[in-house]
Structures are given as C-alpha cells and as structure tokens.
Amino acid sequence: MEKIYTGKTKDVYKMESGNICLKFKDDVTGKDGVFDPGENQVGLKIDGAGREALKITKFFYELLNDRGIKTHYLSANIDDNTMEVKNAHVFGEGLEAICRFRAVGSFIRRYGKYIEDGTPLDAYAEITLKDDERKDPLITDEALEMLGILTKDEYKTIISMTKEIAKIVKEVLAEKGLDLYDIKFEFARDDDGEIMLIDEISGGSMRVYKGDKKLSPLEIHSYLI
C-alpha cells in the first residue's frame, strides 16, 4: 500500500484494488490539551483513541449503509486500526458540512448578536472550507459554484444528506441518554461522480452533552461501545 496522505487523526493509503485504506491514529483535535472538535490542531494523544474512533465509525457507517445512504464505507479491521473505503474525489481542497442542533462554537462566534449560546436549532446545516490558515471559512452555494468547487444541485444534496445523517446519529445518541449539539461530516464524489459521505463518524467529530456536561470523545465512545 502506498501512503498518499498524512492527516491530523488518520493516515491514508492507496490499495492495489484501487480502494483506499484509512489507518486511524491515537490523536484527537483540540487546543491547549483540551478536546474541541471545532479546532484544527491536534491537541492531545490518547492511547486506544484511534481504535475506538474506528469502532464507532464502523457502527455508524454500517447503520447508514443499511439505511440506503451513499457512503464510502466497505469494511473495517479493528485489530489493524484500518477501514477500507471507496476511492474518493474531494471537492476542491476539502469541505466540511456541519449540522447544528444547538447554537454553540463558531455559530455563536458569528451570530451571537442574535441568539443565546446553547439555544436549540432545527438541524441547521452549513458548509465551510477546510482551510486551517483561514479558520475554515463559511461559504455559500453561490460562492462554491463560482469557485468551481460544487454546483448548486450538489450543494443541496450535501445539505440534505448532512441533515439526514445527523438526525440518525442524534437518534442513536439519544437512546443512550446523550444530546448531540453539532456534528461535522465530509463528502466527496465517487469514481462515478456521485456524492457520498466520507471520513470518520466518531466522538472527535461531534459535540455531545450528557445533561450540562460536555463529554470528551472517549466518554462518548464509552457510551456507544
């Protein structure tokens, strides 16, 4: 296998079959040693975090595939910390799709003049550019089209899939007594140009509360495994 990308929480390999192998690492994003899925830096390393993220990702992707949602997921090998997925063509240099059930984080930093921190939101979805240097800026459908990153139809598809998938994750967490505040996803085109969900779905890509307490990724995982 040829390593084609070193990510913040995963390394990416090209397999001989043309599929992709994702190797999960024991890093989570955060700042000053505190976990924050909205941060771009790798803030801390936790033994076993990669395996747990993979277990959770496997669980959610198998559920999504069962529900007929188009994803990149093919199989997972927990012992190797690896997941086999379809080849993906990312949009531009990468987008993040965020679904928000509560007004927190960057939503409050932008719109705090109009809404109180923690206010419930009705599955609000938005797209940001993956760009650490420019702090993952928000972008509209019109700008995405003008920059040649997404068509307006693709934007609609991604927003719609984001809400649908986020609601499924929220339901699963609710069954464990947990409250999903927000979650981020990545999408890409497959070899046929169809849009599919890619990357992981784990505690590192969502903000989850139990009552008033914000849970760490490992705490989230402990409820799900």
Q: What are the residues binding a second copy (CB under 8 A)?
A: 92-93, 109-115, 121-122, 124-126, 129, 131, 133-134, 137-143, 146-147, 149, 159
CA neighbor of 53 nearest in space, from 8, 98, 118, 86: 8
Least distance CB 113 / a second copy (angstroms): 5
Least distance CB 106 / a second copy (angstroms): 9
Q: Looking at beta carbons only, is 47 or 114 nearer to a second copy?
A: 114
How many Cβ atoms are within 10 Å of 123's Cβ, its own excluded? 14
The answer to whether 1 touches 13, Cβ cutoff 8 Å, is yes
62 class by beta-carbon count within 10 Å (0-12 exposed, 13-18 middle, 19+ buried): middle
d(Cα 203, Cα 21) in Å, to the nearest integer?
Answer: 20
- CA distances to 5, 140, 144 from 51, rounded to whole Å, are 19, 35, 35
Least distance CB 153 / a second copy (angstroms): 16
Q: Looking at beta carbons only, is 86 or 170 nearer to a second copy?
A: 170
Q: Looking at beta carbons only, is 142 or 194 nearer to a second copy?
A: 142
Q: Looking at beta carbons only, is 142 or 191 nearer to a second copy?
A: 142
Least distance CB 161 / a second copy (angstroms): 15
Q: Looking at beta carbons only, is 141 or 219 nearer to a second copy?
A: 141
Q: Looking at beta carbons only, is 69 or 108 nearer to a second copy?
A: 108
Least distance CB 191 / a second copy (angstroms): 24
Least distance CB 185 / a second copy (angstroms): 16
